[in-house]
Structure 1
Amino acid sequence: MADEKRAPSSDSDKAKAQHTEAHAGAQLEAVAERGHVATDEYGQALVQFDPQAEARLRRKLDLYLVPTVSLLYLFCFIDRANIGNAKIAGFEKDLGMKGYDYNALLSIFYISYIVFEIPSNIMCKWIGPGWFIPAISLGFGIISVCTAFVHNFAQAAGVRFLLGIFEAGMMPGIAYYLSRWYRRSELTFRLSLYIVMAPMAGAFGGLLASGILSLDHFGGLHTWRMIFGIEGIITIGISVISFFTLTDRPETARWLTQEEKDLAIARVKSERVATTEVLDKMDKKKLLQGILSPVTMSTSLMFLLNNITVQGLAFFAPTIVRTIYPDKSTVTQQLYTVPPYVVGGFFTLALPLISWRLDRRQIIMIMTTPLVIVGYSMFLGTENSNARYAATFLLSSSLFAVGPLSNAQVSANVVSDTARSSSIGLNVMMGNIGGLISTWSYLPWDAPNYHIGNGLNLAACCTVLIISTVTLFWMKWDNKRRDGRSIEEELAGMSQQEIQGLDWRHPAFRWKP
């Protein structure tokens, strides 16, 4: 919808305003239709949008989409990381685990998680996220309940492998799903609204675990088994509800008017050079373009390194706290893990909010590293319990923010919907390779100070700083190089389909730092 005019002062002005508004509405409807481009050959949007109408639409999308996916991801992360809470409640002892068995068990989860990451996001596009996301959520809820009934390492390994299969599509699937609805600048903050559930899962998971462990029993379950059983049942309930609340795409949203549907489609198309439809047909070339984008590859490598620290903190925070405060009760140790995650949750929202307002992601990712570097330096440099506990607040302050920032960055730097699904899939897959590495970062013989684990995390964070900085300067350099290219000459003789297939190789495309 075009920008609003001043109130008309005469019948003639009123008629003219109505004509202008009708023309803008027709233009918006035309741009939203499949087969019509929303940009010129230089990548400039062909229609202007009413900021107030966009704000109303955003509020509606936030209300209908974000709460459901946030709840699903909260229990996705709880069902993954609650094994850390179970560990200090007798999980290892009851299953007869020794030596590196716990690390191996964590690794088994990540093997299936990594292998099924990109295939899951491709399936998400093929089936539709409105059905796929609730289905995999239901799957890992059931698997979590099954974990409550394991009696040996082999059984635990089997359910953790299955859990990885179902959870593989969750983080990239939601990121891809939201990219269908939001502009590039808006997406980062919306991703943070569900990814913030990772640190919140650490806080809420610790509270929930301590509350559950205060029960005598739940049915026939006792101690750590109650954690998996109760949390799995909650996940199943939320998953069933989400089958009815998630809408696959704007065209099928019964809670949007036709004008709002047109606006939702047109404004996303307006940022995708030469694109004639938001939801394109999937093909191998577009999938490879998403994976081979230079920004996708550098960002995913950075996310791999970041996830070594994120997942290490999630899995081993209770263990780290126990080494700091060994004389405290198990419930108290669980509660000590909560405050750092609350701080992490705040920054996971604050940094993407800044990114939204500035429409910048790369510089914010650079800003996430200094406090983490200081935190791990403190772990290595002192054995004072209070100082080391303070360091956990520095770690959680910015670690989790890289999740929404990196997924938004790879999404912003490809064009087609198909390329977006594969780029996000690769980013999260690489991140979970970092998660796999993290399962071996805190080894039993390295306790209680864990010099190897903390040194590895410090090195990983320093490397993130280097990669993110180099990528920022490369993007600026390549954009200047692209300014010297002749768009008309390069596109001469190409069909609309061929032009659209160029994706980020289109001469009018510019990297979005």
Structure 2
Amino acid sequence: MGRREKATDSPESSLDPSPPTGDNYYDPDLPRHNADYLDDLQVPCPPHTTQRKLLTKVDLRVIPVLSILYLLAFLDRTNIANAAVYGLQDDLNLTGNQYNTALTIFFVPYIAFEIPSNILLKKLKPRVWLSGCMFIFGLVTICQGLVQNFSGLLATRFFLGLAETGMFPGSFYLIGMWYKRSEAQKRYSFFFGSTSLAGAFGGLLASAIGKMNHMRGYLGWRWIFILEGTLSCVVAFLFFFIIPNFPEDAKWLKSDERAYIRARLEKDQGKSAIERRITARDVLNVFKDFKIILGGFMYFGLIVPAYGYAFFAPGIIRGYGYSQIGTQLHSVPPWAASFVFALIIAYFSDLVKHRFLFVVLTIAISIAGFAILLSVHHDTHTEYAGLFLVTMGTYSALPVIVCWFNMNLGGHHRRAVGTAWQIGFGNIGGIIATYAFLKKDAPEYKPGYGICIGFACLSLLASCLYGIAVMWQNRSRDKSGRDLGLGESEKLEMGDLSPDYRYML
């Protein structure tokens, strides 16, 4: 990157015709000892640091914390699958589809409160809201290990869904307010990879905890909930002090660093409008954009295979003839493979600054995996290989889809509502997934695999329509031009609907 004498040599190098003043503004005309520029945005970096150093500082504070937070959230919602291997259903005398109903009840509050949760996150600040929710879902998980009957299990699963409702959309929303669109995929995939790590970690942990069977009078499945819930509560207390807020409120950054982060995001995504609260009218206006609906179906279609695997993989693997501990250990490699593959996909997606083709590729891999499981029933090695394709495809496609949609939403208001909608609506697929794999269909589970293929195809179709929509709107705006007589405040309210905004394909 070459050094330039003056940031204002080009009209595109200025930040704003009427830039803000005060501590949150970095003056590009001040003398600089280190003129570090972004190739495409031309935003000057503060003189005491470089872009790479500053992004590394942000990465170390934002991504690991949110990844651990969601790892524990995903672990606490899916560890019931590991507990089932150790006799949860027999001990609680669950009959028929009661186990599936217990899985389903989690999604009722989880879906209903996604959008209110993101609004509260913006109002209360991420540090307070996310750590508070984390402590509550850890406490509920502990209670889940103490239940004595089906009713108690239903109650704890319901409140677990209520406590976890803000974890995923809140974290994705927060990450999106720190990074440019071309930088986001690697961060999103690493964060989303915490689901794969949770699956792998959960299998390893469950294999060890299973040896505590009958310790202090508790069966092994109860210890899974008690110990993992306790871990979440302890981490939540620590995270209250370190979960990052939005860039505008980040006291761990210097004032000129905050201004630089904010300026580069404004150049890439438009102004955020964080200073105005979200109203009911804002929420309604978001849904006037048909792309918002498509974003929901993109995620919805893949959630069915994602939760279908997460909730039933131990049972599927147990059907291959492994012992209880062997089942837990064999559940680890597919999760680990999906984590590595997701990072590879993310790296190349950011490298070429493209999302659509990577979505098509990964969904196709997922469909291939389910096709193997649907058609092969007497070759354990081939079936096990199919599980790798399922996890690698599904759990690599999900972060690309959410990142693509989320980072194409401009401003706090549209992003807060749009992200929550996508995750909330999409998680209706979790309800379908909980009834896709029934005990009567074991061990072949043909209906379940067929359902997963169908919904993966739905996600692929919605993604294709979304890709066509953003490409068409970009070309339309290029033809009509940027200057339509709109003021800065009007463009601010429009977010990504502004004529200045260009979507990433």
Same fold (TM over 0.5): yes
Aligned with 2:251: secondary structure? coil
Query: 1:26 deviation in Å?
Result: 10
Higher deviation after alignment, 411-420 or 223-232: 411-420
Deviation string 1:297-343 (CA, Å, 9 cap, x unpaired) is: 21220110101000000000001001122xx2201111111111111
Q: Among residues 153, 164, 173, which one is paired with 2:150 in the alignment?
A: 153
Give distance in 1, aligned partners of 2:183 and 2:144: 38
In the alignment, what sits opposite 1:98? 95
In the alignment, what sits opposite 1:364? 358
Q: 1:437 to 1:30 in 2, by over 3 A?
A: same
Paired letter, 1:363: L
Deviation string 1:145-190 (CA, Å, 9 cap, x unpaired) is: 0001100000100000000001110000001111221111222221
Q: Among residues 298, 309, 313, which one is paired with 1:313 in the alignment?
A: 309
Query: 1:29 deviation in Å?
Result: 13
Q: Contact conserved, 1:36 with 1:277, CA < 8 A, in 2? A: no
In the alignment, what sits opposite 1:431? 426
Q: Among residues 333, 337, 340, which one is paired with 1:339 in the alignment?
A: 333
Q: Within 5 Å, give how 1:319-398 maps onto structure 2.
A: 319-325=315-321, 328-383=322-377, 384-398=379-393
Q: Contact conserved, 2:8 with 2:14, CA < 8 A, in 1? A: no
In the alignment, what sits opposite 2:3? 5
Is 1:215 the counterpart of 2:207? The answer is no
Query: 1:36 deviation in Å?
Result: 9.1
Paired letter, 2:87: G
Paired letter, 2:92: L
Q: Within 5 Å, give how 1:178-257 maps onto structure 2.
A: 178-217=175-214, 219-257=216-254
Q: Contact conserved, 1:288 with 1:419, CA < 8 A, in 2? A: no
Q: Within 5 Å, give how 1:255-294 maps onto structure 2.
A: 255-273=252-270, 275=271, 277=273, 279-294=275-290
In the alignment, what sits opposite 2:53? 56
Q: Contact conserved, 1:28 with 1:47, CA < 8 A, in 2? A: no
In the alignment, what sits opposite 1:401? 396
Q: 1:421 to 1:218 in 2, by over 3 A?
A: farther
Q: 1:63 to 1:499 in 2, by over 3 A?
A: closer
Q: Contact conserved, 2:204 with 2:332, CA < 8 A, in 1? A: yes
Query: 1:471 deviation in Å?
Result: 2.4
Relative to the length of structure 1, the TM-score reads: 0.89
Paired letter, 1:247: P
Deviation string 1:393-452 (CA, Å, 9 cap, x unpaired) is: 010112112332222222222212111011110111122111111001001111110110
Aligned with 1:511: secondary structure? coil
Give distance in 2, aligned partners of 1:460 and 1:18: 53
Q: Contact conserved, 2:363 with 2:397, CA < 8 A, in 1? A: no
Aligned with 2:319: secondary structure? helix
Q: Contact conserved, 2:273 with 2:493, CA < 8 A, in 1? A: no
Paired letter, 2:306: V
Paired letter, 2:423: V
Query: 1:463 deviation in Å?
Result: 2.5
Q: Among residues 291, 295, 298, which one is paired with 1:299 in the alignment?
A: 295
Q: 1:30 to 1:374 in 2, by over 3 A?
A: same
Give distance in 2, aligned partners of 1:248 and 1:237: 20
Relative to the length of structure 2, the TM-score reads: 0.90
Aligned with 1:120: secondary structure? helix
Q: Which blocks of at least 5 consecutive residues in structure 1 are unaligned? A: 7-16, 39-43
| Displaced runs of 4 or more, over 6 A | 18-21, 24-30, 34-38
In the alignment, what sits opposite 2:135? 138
Q: 1:423 to 1:18 in 2, by over 3 A?
A: closer
Give distance in 2, aligned partners of 1:297 and 1:290: 10
Give distance in 1, aligned partners of 2:247 and 2:470: 32
Give distance in 1, aligned partners of 2:226 and 2:314: 20
Give distance in 1, aligned partners of 2:306 and 2:125: 29
Give distance in 2, aligned partners of 1:466 and 1:474: 12
Q: 1:211 to 1:107 in 2, by over 3 A?
A: same
In the alignment, what sits opposite 2:416? 421
Query: 1:359 deviation in Å?
Result: 2.0
Q: Contact conserved, 1:288 with 1:422, CA < 8 A, in 2? A: no
In the alignment, what sits opposite 1:470? 465
Query: 1:391 deviation in Å?
Result: 0.3
Paired letter, 1:500: L
Give distance in 1, aligned partners of 2:20 and 2:231: 39
- Percent identity of paired positions between Structure 1 and Structure 2: 30
Number of residue-to-residue matches in the alignment? 488
Aligned with 1:261: secondary structure? helix
Query: 1:46 deviation in Å?
Result: 7.8
